[in-house]
Chain A
Amino acid sequence: MDGANTAGRPETGAPAIELVGISKAFGPVQANKDISISVERGAVHGIIGENGAGKSTLMSILYGFYKADAGEIYISGQKTEIPDSQAAIAAGIGMVFQHFKLIDNFSVLENVVLGAEDGPMLKGSLVKARKTLTSLAEEYELDVDPDALIEDLSVGHQQRVEILKALYRQADILILDEPTGVLTPAEADHLFRILRNLKAEGKTIILITHKLREIMDITDTVSVMRRGEMMSTVKTSETSPEDLAERMVGRKVLLSVDKKPPTIGDTVLKIDNLRVVDDVGVERVKGISLEVRAGEILGIAGVSGNGQSQLLSVLGGYMNATGSITLNGQAIDLSGKNSDGQSRRARGIAHVPEDRQSEGLVMDFMAWENIVFGYHHDLAYQKNRLLMDNAAIRADTEAKMERFDVRPPHPRLQAKNFSGGNQQKIVLAREIERNPDLLLVGQPTRGVDIGAIEFIHQQIVELRDQGKAILLVSVELEEIMSLADRIAVMFDGHIMGERDPAKTDERDLGLLMAGVNEQQGAA
């Protein structure tokens, strides 16, 4: 069991899984670069990394959902081809996806049996599954009512069904992708008990997560991924959360942003006890309060999926919430007809949304049509009461494209034909040129090339220096640290803590992002 990486060893000593030189690209994006890892039988192996580090892609390759461009997979020392999920199941691999693959109006039993039936008749399979489920429930604390419909189960129970599905297929290796993202703390504790039981029975577990506490809690070994590459693999007992946070985030060279000290004015945005429940009934923002003042950039850091998107949606006027929000001292509506995007814009809130391709732009619209998107009722864009002044809009577009250095500067080019950076510049030009009191910015440089990043950062800082309030949401710690005048970290719908960028570092923030507040103890 000393993990020497040579092929052709006897079966007994072979690692449960060995990946050698796995690479995978989606178009121009290299999601996995030459990744090799080896996981011992009976171990709990953690894979940790920021969003987009390539963790999920790697595991999807192992489960046959994607096909790797290069590399080899060994299961128990045997070279194994995994072209589809069927092959992965046959190789003893089970996967619990982040978004469950369950059928809502089927019973637990039916979900477990689907694809693993014993014959053309269901009855025998169901009887057998019921028996197996009972014994699995006793063995691993995996009790779920076999006749309940999935839609009636809590998220935690649904996840147990996913684990049961894998075990019913006699999986020896269980992959869990961000399993606690949707769980309550009590449910998460229960899950970990289950995982320990599974480990005790000799199952191999791969746990993908961004939460350091979980890694320290349960894993034997941990691999850190960053930007599609495997940085290092260490024994959990020989590392610390601080060390891992540093490896995960990396010692990056800070992008230099030419920034004067802020001249801070009155409070522009004041959020009090804001709660947001999404359309499937999950509470995503759990009573947060914060303030943004004129002339400052408040950066909200955090791993994606911790409530930041919902916060932006509420402020942008397309998600309902409870609590109170005031802008320049005046309340803004959180539901009803005066809470839509048009009303928000009228109040002086501009919004650069997180996902420019699905929200910020209509990709089939030309640049000039996109430059008025959301502001198409503006009087400056109308020829008369009936018609829009398309010529004026195009002229305005040309001016904005020049000021924001959009290339190519063609107003009649469709948005989808610009590069990511130039698409983002179109959105920024539209929003910043409105001269708003409050600018909401989500992931301003996601998928943007280095040259454009600097330009975009400069524009945001310039707006701040004009005395405007800016709320910046980014999963890029580096970006938050170089831009923000104040940093709030969101975790699980809460604000974990606020920091002064000058008095904090990646390690401290990384811990907050993983739900650990050293000043107050673990959440």
Chain B
Amino acid sequence: MDMLLQIMLTMDMSIRLSVALLLACLAGLFSERAGVVDIGLEGKMLIAAFFAAAASFETGSAWLGILAGCAASLTFSMIHAVASITYRGNQLISGVAVNFLASGLTVVIGNAWYKKGGQTPTLSGDSRFYDITLPFADYLQNIPMPGPIYSELLSGHKAIVYIAYAAVPLAWWVLYRTRFGLRLRAVGENPASVDTAGISVVKMRYLALVIAGILCGIAGAYLSTAQAAGFGKEMTAGRGFIALAALIFAKWRPWQAMGACLLFGFLEAISNLYPNINVFGLFTIPVQFTQALPYILTVVILAGFVGKAIPPKAVGEPYVKER
């Protein structure tokens, strides 16, 4: 029973830790599927986390917090869009700039407003998201096996957790079942084809970055108003890059992205709960190895030793009409 409890606890934590990854990963999915490389996921999440926490604190509403987070993230996404789409600048450099800008601005503004070394005040009450208990969770708890899975694992998360997981089928549906999705995928593969079909490449790419901005906004808000109770300096802690890794791991597909994010969330949960794992008394897996595993796995995938990750063909290239 104790073993079962530990497994449940680990799984529950994996789900919680995968949420921000998943939202950011989907943001990257939309952006890169449209042909715009986005290494600024980290920065967008960070700025969103700050403004979400600040707005929640000021208004007392976590939902207004999300709104502010999305607005901030969207602004950053548009900076990236102007640089990489309108002015055909280097998308990688623009992404690096976005990350730096977020690192700096969050602390500068946070310190100016709250004078706590970049932190926001601790959030409580309606400024944070509640755990939502799914219907009949209490009632079903005592049924063996499926009961606890439903009431412990699936029930009792914050609203954003359900939003994030609902976003996966939605993203899949949008990408593969709508006109918009078809055009979005097309523009990342062969913009010249889209152009000759009479569709604006610029418009499609801007729309993709709007979606990416909003998703990163929700991801950031989750970190500061749901997972934690307030903003802390550099609180994204590389999650934007893990999301990028997950995106590659998933080969730019939504369901697989969910799988990759759950896996990487699980690895983080393991490293939090069981820092050093002793394997049958033979050797110890250090916590740092578990932490680095997402990156190692991604490099292996990138190297093409285990299934080749082929990015959208036109990703990273500004579209210029021939001649």
Set B177, B179, B189, B196: member contacting A95, Cβ < 8 A: B196
* CA distance in complex: A65, B199 (Å): 13
Please give, as numbers and ranges, the residues of chain A lying within 8 Å of B178 by CB-CB distance.
120-122
Set B177, B190, B197: member contacting A115, Cβ < 8 A: B197
* CA distance in complex: A104, B310 (Å): 13
Q: Is the CB of B186 within 8 A of A114?
A: yes
A105-113, A357-365, A400-408 - interface stretch: A105-113
Set A65, A106, A165: member contacting B189, Cβ < 8 A: A106
A6-14, A83-91, A222-230 - interface stretch: A83-91
Please give, as numbers and ranges, the residues of chain B lying within 8 Å of A119 by CB-CB distance.
179
Please give, as numbers and ranges, the residues of chain A lying within 8 Å of B182 by CB-CB distance.
110, 113-114, 117, 122
A234 within 8 A of B: no
Please give, as numbers and ranges, the residues of chain B lying within 8 Å of A113 by CB-CB distance.
182
Q: Is the CB of B197 within 8 A of A114?
A: yes
* CA distance in complex: A63, B181 (Å): 26
Q: Is the CB of B313 within 8 A of A101?
A: no
Q: Is the CB of A101 within 8 A of B193?
A: yes
Q: Is the CB of A116 within 8 A of B197?
A: yes
Question: Given the known A-B contacts A26-B323, A65-B321, A113-B182, are A104 and B313 also in contact in the complex, defined by CB atoms under 8 Å?
Answer: yes
Shortest beta-carbon distance from B189 to chain A in Å: 5
Please give, as numbers and ranges, the residues of chain A lying within 8 Å of B185 by CB-CB distance.
103, 106
Q: Is the CB of B186 within 8 A of A103?
A: yes
* CA distance in complex: A101, B194 (Å): 8
The size class of the interface chain A forms with chain B is 20 to 34
CB-CB contacts below 8 Å: B155-179 with A? 176-179
The size class of the interface chain B forms with chain A is 20 to 34
A164 within 8 A of B: no
* CA distance in complex: A125, B182 (Å): 12
Please give, as numbers and ranges, the residues of chain A lying within 8 Å of B199 by CB-CB distance.
114-115
A79 within 8 A of B: no
Please give, as numbers and ranges, the residues of chain A lying within 8 Å of B321 by CB-CB distance.
65
B180 within 8 A of A: yes
Q: Is the CB of B198 within 8 A of A84?
A: yes
- Looking at A101, A115, A116, A125, which has the most chain B CB atoms within 10 Å of its CB? A115
Set B177, B192, B194, B313: member contacting A114, Cβ < 8 A: B194
Q: Is the CB of A115 within 8 A of B189?
A: no
Bitwise, A336-359 to B at CB < 8 A (1) or not (0) is 000000000000000000000000
Shortest beta-carbon distance from A112 to chain B in Å: 10
Question: Given the known A-B contacts A106-B186, A115-B183, A122-B182, are A101 and B177 also in contact in the complex, defined by CB atoms under 8 Å?
Answer: no
Please give, as numbers and ranges, the residues of chain B lying within 8 Å of A121 by CB-CB distance.
177-179
* CA distance in complex: A160, B305 (Å): 37
Shortest beta-carbon distance from B174 to chain A in Å: 10
B195 within 8 A of A: yes
Q: Is the CB of B189 within 8 A of A103?
A: yes
* CA distance in complex: A110, B197 (Å): 12
Please give, as numbers and ranges, the residues of chain B lying within 8 Å of A116 by CB-CB distance.
197
Please give, as numbers and ranges, the residues of chain B lying within 8 Å of A65 by CB-CB distance.
196, 321
Bitwise, A59-70 to B at CB < 8 A (1) or not (0) is 000010100000
Shortest beta-carbon distance from A448 to chain B in Å: 20
Q: Is the CB of A120 within 8 A of B180?
A: yes
Question: Given the known A-B contacts A65-B321, A85-B195, A85-B198, are A103 and B190 also in contact in the complex, defined by CB atoms under 8 Å?
Answer: yes
Q: Is the CB of B196 within 8 A of A97?
A: yes
Please give, as numbers and ranges, the residues of chain B lying within 8 Å of A89 by CB-CB distance.
197-198
Please give, as numbers and ranges, the residues of chain A lying within 8 Å of B193 by CB-CB distance.
101-103, 111, 114
Please give, as numbers and ranges, the residues of chain B lying within 8 Å of A125 by CB-CB distance.
179
- Looking at B181, B194, B197, B199, which has the most chain A CB atoms within 10 Å of its CB? B197
Please give, as numbers and ranges, the residues of chain A lying within 8 Å of B198 by CB-CB distance.
84-86, 89, 115
* CA distance in complex: A89, B197 (Å): 8
A123 within 8 A of B: yes
* CA distance in complex: A115, B184 (Å): 11
* CA distance in complex: A418, B313 (Å): 35
Please give, as numbers and ranges, the residues of chain A lying within 8 Å of B323 by CB-CB distance.
26
Shortest beta-carbon distance from A136 to chain B in Å: 18
Please give, as numbers and ranges, the residues of chain B lying within 8 Å of A26 by CB-CB distance.
323
Please give, as numbers and ranges, the residues of chain B lying within 8 Å of A63 by CB-CB distance.
196
Please give, as numbers and ranges, the residues of chain A lying within 8 Å of B196 by CB-CB distance.
63, 65, 85, 95, 97, 101
Across the two chains, which residue of chain A brings its CB closest to B177? A122
Across the two chains, which residue of chain A brings its CB closest to B181? A122
Please give, as numbers and ranges, the residues of chain A lying within 8 Å of B313 by CB-CB distance.
104
Shortest beta-carbon distance from B34 to chain A in Å: 13
Please give, as numbers and ranges, the residues of chain B lying within 8 Å of A111 by CB-CB distance.
193
* CA distance in complex: A114, B201 (Å): 13
Shortest beta-carbon distance from A284 to chain B in Å: 22
* CA distance in complex: A97, B193 (Å): 10
Shortest beta-carbon distance from A237 to chain B in Å: 34
Which residues of A are in contact with B by a Cβ distance under 8 Å?
26, 63, 65, 84-86, 89, 95, 97, 101-106, 110-111, 113-117, 119-123, 125, 165
- 12 new A-B contacts, CB < 8 A, other than A102-B190, A120-B180, A123-B177, are A65-B321, A89-B197, A95-B196, A103-B189, A106-B186, A111-B193, A114-B193, A114-B199, A115-B183, A115-B194, A116-B197, A120-B179
